[in-house]
Structure 1
Amino acid sequence: MAELLLELFSEEIPARMQAKAEADLKAAVESGLSEAGVAFERITALSGPRRLTVCVEGLPAKSADVKEERKGPKVGAPEKAVEGFLRGAGLNSIDEAEVRSDPKKGDFYVAVREVPGRPLPDIIAEMVPDIVRSFHWPKSMRWGRGELRWVRPLQRVLCIFDGKVVDFEIDGLKSGNETEGHRVHGRGPFKVSSFDEYKTLLESKGSVILSREDRRLLIDEQAHVICHERGLELVEDKGLLEEVTGLAEWPVVILGDMDPDFLSLPGEVIQLSMRTHQKYFAVRDPKTGDLAPHFVVVANIDATDGGKAIAEGNSRVLSARLDDARFFWDNDRKTPLATMAEKLKTIDFKKELGTVADKVERVAALARELAPKVGADPDVAERAARLAKADLVSGMVGEFPELQGVMGGYYAREQGEDEAVATAIAEHYKPVGPSDQVPSEPVSIAVALADKLDTLVGFWAIDEKPTGSKDPFALRRAALGVVRIILENEVRLGLLGLFAKHAMNFAPVFRHVDLLEFFADRLKQYLRDAGARYDLIDAVFALGEDDLVLIVKRVEALGAFLETDDGANLLAGYKRAANILKAEEKKDGKAYEGTPDPALFEQDEERSLAAAITESVTSAEAALAGEDFEKAMGALSSLRAPVDAFFDAVTVNAESAELRQNRLLILTSIRDALHRVADFSKLAA
């Protein structure tokens, strides 16, 4: 078995594009080989700042032989039909065709042709240029006079099969067996004949760590070690770690120093300046948890002075960045938030929804309304909402949009606002991701909910909803944020009434149920991530409940109930009753609604089931009124035995029409009883 080694070597590939390009190239090679009928044992893909690499192991020397069959006319068909078949199949005589029989159509001719497999080098020589020419990058470029597009100018294509070069050309660039190492430390170019040699020589001669995972682990380990040696602690940042992994082929971690005077800036400003502009990791003092006047930078060179000059140079650059940030910090604090808020009238939120100032008015009114429901002071909640968006016109947020809200919180504290107001301003965009914490203080909850609900109701009012994968206004995230805030703080809200009242700010016609269904989808996502079954959520939502806390309690109780023998068997009994009802209602052209007549009960099982339904429904309704869903499920579980006994002993479709109708109404009673806690028709058996 042979090996294919492919390397596409170019100028620097943006770090954010490398991982996907690696996966896309792997998929393209897999697909190309599969389409050619070539099986293999293993495929490995790698990526780095200047190269994409694929190694395919366990390849045959040629593709598999293929037997092609072409069906022809019936035996005894007109001569012209036979002649046309022979020409199309490439046969000289009908004697070269096989005769096959079909029980219905009789005997017919079949042309069988053996197509020999193609040598793998021929397949690869066609496949690789096609992959390169059709490869998709988020952004690509052309260079020179050629038509080829690549993320950065493509400089080499290394392609080796079974130790030999696979010859082809892509826009004037010929394939070969040479690669290059590190721009500074690497010696080369050098020739290779296998993946093992390629990997070994790149590291030993080229100063290139080929594996993305190896580079990531090395950076992470070195960063922690260098901080530990100085009694410091690295501020973890997985996103930044992934990015710097794509910036260095030979990563060397260096600890740099920062002017301690900059520690007077908010920590978020320092970290964002380091991360966004310079790709530095922040460092903290483990004793206090505060940022320390140092940073960690990942160099792509092993400096002879141990990185001293690199550290000093990066320190100077960081100082310039932080000087700019300090200017914004000092300047912004001269302007009261209330004054900043007045400028929101000049910023459009959405043409159909008015300015940001208009949104602030709506959010302030809604936050005031929500405040008593979450235990917040209405005046404080309204004050926080009126100042929440003010920092959008600040210099700092103009430079670092990611700090919206956060800076407003700092400015509010500086200006003597209530701590609850400052915290609410800082947190009102939260949660911004699945791992982000939700606001937990009453005022913060009121403002965060009001802001997100206003956005959702507004966009629904103008009929701009997410479609497919498109969600330009992050409405799914906003709805999931509302779900999380409500559930994690156990906030009791009737959403439909809230939608209807707030929609009056936008449009006279508004589909509240449509928006509730959108929330249902987000709730399903949230609960599925927590391990709940999607059908349980559908079953509970079908009741029309709009209190998310109650919905989740029902879902949890229903899930626990269905895991018991009584629950599982009762569900089976329900399904049987519902299926019979559905079939008979369809046949009779009418719905069976109402209560059965006890005078028509002929068997003890009918009487026992009817009595059990009455008793269990009474108990279940009392439990539901007290929001004791487990007790309600327990009350319904008493139906299991009488339902089983009924189906074992009673013939529903009796000969007497009157008796049959009465027994179908008993089935209706079973269905209606269980629908008091959930729509059991939505549950998987």
Structure 2
Amino acid sequence: MADFLLELLTEEIPARMQPEAAVQLGERFRTLLDKAGLQAEAVETYVTPRRLALLARGLPPASAPVVEERRGPRADAPDAAIAGFLKSTGLARDQLEERETDRGRFLFATLRREGEPTAALLAERLPALLAGFAWPKAMRFEPTGFRWVRPLRGIVALLDGEVVPFAVAGVASGRETMGHRVMGGGTALRIDSPRTHAAQLEAAFVLLDAEARKARIREGARKAAAAAGLALVEDEGLVAENAGLAEWPVPLLGRFDPAFLAVPPELLVLTMKVNQKYFACVDARGQLAPAFVCIANLEAPDGGRAIVAGNERVLAARLADARFFWEQDVKVPLDAQAAKLSGILFHEKLGTMAEKVERVARLARWLVETHPGQFPGATPGLVERAARLAKADLVTGTVGEFPELQGVIGAHIADAQGEPAEVVAALRQHYAPVPEGSVPVAVALADRVDTLLAFFSVSLIPSGSKDPFALRRAALASLDIIIGHSLRMDILKVFEFHFLNVISTIATQAARQSDLFSNLKILEENLPDWSRNSSYRDAIEALGLTSIYFEYNVDATQQLLTFLAERLKVRERDAGVRHDLIDAVFALGHEDDLVRLLARVRALQAFVETKEGENLLAGFRRAANILKAEEKKDGPHDGPVAPALLVEPAERALDTALEGAQAAVRAAVNAEDFTAAMQTLAALRPFVDRFFDTVTVNADDPGLRRNRLALLAKLRATAALVADFSKVEG
């Protein structure tokens, strides 16, 4: 068995492209082996800023022999036909086998093709592997038309100690590569064999393994910070990026003017990270320190002093730019910044960002006014103020330069301008997955609900894999907030209230485009008076604003509720909650409190997964199936049960049990004691079993039959107080 090494020496490969390139090389090489009839014990890939490498261990000396069976003409075919078959196979007549088949007696040839040497197969197929390599961006090299990420400088191709000869774009394979660009001595490095490759490169100051480079960066950066009495701000993404920039990483500590610490720390950290790929440091109190760790790509004779000095100068200029943006932004009142949002379009059908802010402010205020117990300590005035300022920093120079700091910069400006602490917290957490604190929660939830309902109202709903407005993410974020903070509210009523705000904006946009400002004024004056149960279409058409002028979706609230239910299934799947049970509770049509719904679902799951629950579920299903079949014939059987027609002891016992169970289940559900509700249903099992064992539902007497079907409908209705058991699988 042999080992094979392929190293492609290039100019610098962008760090972001390196991991995928290594994966692709491995996949393409495995495909090559498969098609060539070869197998390797292991295939490993490596990537550095200047090289892409592959090591295949345990390759056979040649491909496996191929045995092929080919059917020829019939045994009694004319001589010419048999001669043609012999010529195509290269065999003699006595080497053929006669064999009986269901179509008669035929001639068969067994052809054996010996395997080809592995070196020859690799030499033949590797050029195509490289020519078909896909880079996100690539350079084209004439006259061959070969495409590669950067100029290809050399190819090492060794099978054990022997060169596998081939050429790509005028570059011939061999055994020579280069070590470190500076420390490697500038002379060619002759690789002895695949097994010595990594060690020889390391001796030439190249760490081939990216994980080894990451470990060197991680540990060296921590030590550099600790030597100065500081701690590193850990950042694995930055570790990986630096590993893609240096073949011999050397962490060095630098410092910057402490005066820059007057700038928000997040801005300083992001400037160091994004612009310079530096790690930030904090002091013993966890406060940002005027120091950083940079990653050099060599061990300098002066210990890195000149490198550090150069990096300090570059960083000083970057931090000065960041400070300029901050100082300009903090001078402008956030209210003035928010006013500029009227010049930013949120969506062509949904108005400007300023109109979105207005909608969010109305909804956030309404949430707190109508659900004060769910947002303790929050006042309508605070949440409205926070909502009106939450997106003001989108127009600042700082966020324009660093979009990642949206919300954070607004919070710092709000704090500097004397806004209440609750407002500052709401701005800081506006884009957080699950904010903390009543004011931040109310504003963040209002923002996400507005986004969802607005796009659903104009029928811009995700389909398949397409979700251009990230509505699935907004839905999951809404669920995380509602369930994470146990917010008790009828989510459908929230949607219905906010729908009025949304269609007002839709009408505004349409009116702008149609010059219907007089009708728009009437619409805005009348919107607050519309009943939640009125027909939106009739009301709008009565005002003269028909769908000719704007699009809206009066079913948006129900569609959005269904969409949330689907997202809830996704969210709870990892927690082991069954999707069919969520359907079973949603199907009731009146459970719009998502916290209560989830509690009901979990109690239902605990019940149906017990033996008792499985048996009772079978009884409910049997009743439902009988009713379904009979109701197809003569309609619903939901009428009252006539006690006088309960002639069998088992049906009288079941009716009595159901009377008590209905009252007990209603009381338990109202008290949100769903476990007790399930236990009450479980207690019905012996009565249900006895009924089906001893009572004939489809009795000959029509009156008895109808009454027994009504009793089964009563059983179905009792179960439906908890869930629609027809939706439960299994």
TM-score under structure 2 length normalisation: 0.83
In the alignment, is residue 631 of structure 1 matched against residue 686 of structure 2?
no
What is the correspondence of 1:77-156 to structure 2 with a 5 Å cutoff? 96=96, 98-102=98-102, 112-156=110-154
1:299 Cα shift?
1.3
CA distance in 2, matches of 1:390, 1:472: 24
CA distance in 2, matches of 1:176, 1:162: 13
SS at match of 1:282: strand
CA distance in 1, matches of 2:620, 2:129: 56
Amino acid corresponding to residue 431 of structure 2 in structure 1: Y
1:681 Cα shift?
4.2
1:166·1:176 contact (CA, 8 Å) conserved in 2?
Answer: yes
* More displaced 10-residue stretch of structure 1: 195-204 or 74-83: 74-83
In the alignment, is residue 497 of structure 1 matched against residue 542 of structure 2?
no
Amino acid corresponding to residue 33 of structure 2 in structure 1: L
In the alignment, is residue 64 of structure 1 matched against residue 61 of structure 2?
no
Q: CA offsets per residue over residues 542-578 of structure 1, 9 Å max, x none?
A: 3343322122212322233244332344345555666
Percent identity (aligned): 49
**Pair 683,167 (structure 1): closer, same or farther in 2 beyond 3 Å:** farther
CA distance in 2, matches of 1:664, 1:109: 72
* Residue number in structure 1 paired with 2:260: 262
What is the correspondence of 1:237-248 to structure 2 with a 5 Å cutoff? 237-248=235-246
* Residue number in structure 2 paired with 1:173: 171
SS at match of 1:352: coil
CA distance in 2, matches of 1:109, 1:448: 78
Structure 2 gap segments, 5+ residues each:
507-550
What is the correspondence of 1:42-441 to structure 2 with a 5 Å cutoff? 42-70=42-70, 96=96, 98-102=98-102, 112-187=110-185, 188-204=187-203, 206-286=204-284, 288-372=285-369, 373=371, 374-375=374-375, 376-431=378-433, 438-441=434-437
1:524 Cα shift?
2.4
* Residue number in structure 1 paired with 2:638: 594
* Residue number in structure 2 paired with 1:434: none
Amino acid corresponding to residue 616 of structure 2 in structure 1: L
1:96 Cα shift?
2.6
1:222·1:253 contact (CA, 8 Å) conserved in 2?
Answer: yes
SS at match of 2:251: strand
CA distance in 2, matches of 1:75, 1:513: 74
CA distance in 2, matches of 1:531, 1:142: 51
* Residue number in structure 1 paired with 2:480: 484
* Residue number in structure 2 paired with 1:546: 592
What is the correspondence of 1:601-616 to structure 2 with a 5 Å cutoff? 605-616=650-661
CA distance in 2, matches of 1:624, 1:664: 26
In the alignment, is residue 570 of structure 1 matched against residue 616 of structure 2?
yes
1:86·1:94 contact (CA, 8 Å) conserved in 2?
Answer: no
* Residue number in structure 2 paired with 1:435: none
1:430·1:481 contact (CA, 8 Å) conserved in 2?
Answer: no
In the alignment, is residue 557 of structure 1 matched against residue 557 of structure 2?
no
CA distance in 1, matches of 2:205, 2:634: 80
Q: CA offsets per residue over residues 280-320 of structure 1, 9 Å max, x none?
A: 1111112x221111111111111122222222211111111
Structure number with bigger Rg: 2
CA distance in 2, matches of 1:619, 1:85: 86
1:592·1:664 contact (CA, 8 Å) conserved in 2?
Answer: no
> How many matched pairs?
673
**Pair 158,512 (structure 1): closer, same or farther in 2 beyond 3 Å:** farther
2:637·2:709 contact (CA, 8 Å) conserved in 1?
Answer: no
1:356 Cα shift?
1.1
**Pair 4,335 (structure 1): closer, same or farther in 2 beyond 3 Å:** same
* More displaced 10-residue stretch of structure 1: 19-28 or 535-544: 535-544
**Aligned partner (choices 560, 573, 582) of residue 528 of structure 1:** 573
SS at match of 2:388: helix
**Pair 303,669 (structure 1): closer, same or farther in 2 beyond 3 Å:** farther
In the alignment, is residue 3 of structure 1 matched against residue 14 of structure 2?
no
1:268 Cα shift?
0.6
Amino acid corresponding to residue 47 of structure 1 in structure 2: V
Amino acid corresponding to residue 552 of structure 1 in structure 2: L
1:263 Cα shift?
0.8
CA distance in 2, matches of 1:653, 1:165: 87
SS at match of 2:571: helix
Structure 1 gap segments, 5+ residues each:
432-437
**Pair 297,361 (structure 1): closer, same or farther in 2 beyond 3 Å:** same
1:95 Cα shift?
8.3
* More displaced 10-residue stretch of structure 1: 106-115 or 148-157: 106-115
Amino acid corresponding to residue 419 of structure 1 in structure 2: A
Q: CA offsets per residue over residues 68-126 of structure 1, 9 Å max, x none?
A: 34567788899999899888878776983552444xx6766655543443333343234
**Aligned partner (choices 468, 474, 490) of residue 470 of structure 2:** 474
1:98·1:111 contact (CA, 8 Å) conserved in 2?
Answer: no
**Pair 278,469 (structure 1): closer, same or farther in 2 beyond 3 Å:** farther
Q: CA offsets per residue over residues 487-518 of structure 1, 9 Å max, x none?
A: 11111232223333333333542433332233
CA distance in 2, matches of 1:537, 1:8: 54
* More displaced 10-residue stretch of structure 1: 3-12 or 664-673: 664-673
* Residue number in structure 2 paired with 1:40: 40
CA distance in 2, matches of 1:500, 1:87: 82
CA distance in 2, matches of 1:156, 1:573: 75
2:456·2:553 contact (CA, 8 Å) conserved in 1?
Answer: no
1:223·1:234 contact (CA, 8 Å) conserved in 2?
Answer: yes
CA distance in 2, matches of 1:84, 1:653: 77
CA distance in 2, matches of 1:289, 1:42: 46
In the alignment, is residue 516 of structure 1 matched against residue 579 of structure 2?
no
CA distance in 2, matches of 1:393, 1:254: 37
SS at match of 2:446: helix
1:656 Cα shift?
8.6
Q: CA offsets per residue over residues 519-560 of structure 1, 9 Å max, x none?
A: 223322322233434444343333343322122212322233
Q: CA offsets per residue over residues 2-61 of structure 1, 9 Å max, x none?
A: 222222222111112211222222222223323444333222222221222222222222
SS at match of 1:63: coil
SS at match of 1:142: strand
1:597·1:662 contact (CA, 8 Å) conserved in 2?
Answer: yes
Q: CA offsets per residue over residues 149-200 of structure 1, 9 Å max, x none?
A: 2222222232223432222222322222232221111244323353321111
CA distance in 1, matches of 2:342, 2:393: 13
CA distance in 1, matches of 2:131, 2:363: 55
**Pair 390,638 (structure 1): closer, same or farther in 2 beyond 3 Å:** same
* More displaced 10-residue stretch of structure 1: 483-492 or 147-156: 147-156
2:96·2:107 contact (CA, 8 Å) conserved in 1?
Answer: no
**Pair 674,161 (structure 1): closer, same or farther in 2 beyond 3 Å:** farther
* Residue number in structure 1 paired with 2:449: 453
1:262 Cα shift?
0.8
* More displaced 10-residue stretch of structure 1: 395-404 or 672-681: 672-681
**Pair 542,20 (structure 1): closer, same or farther in 2 beyond 3 Å:** farther
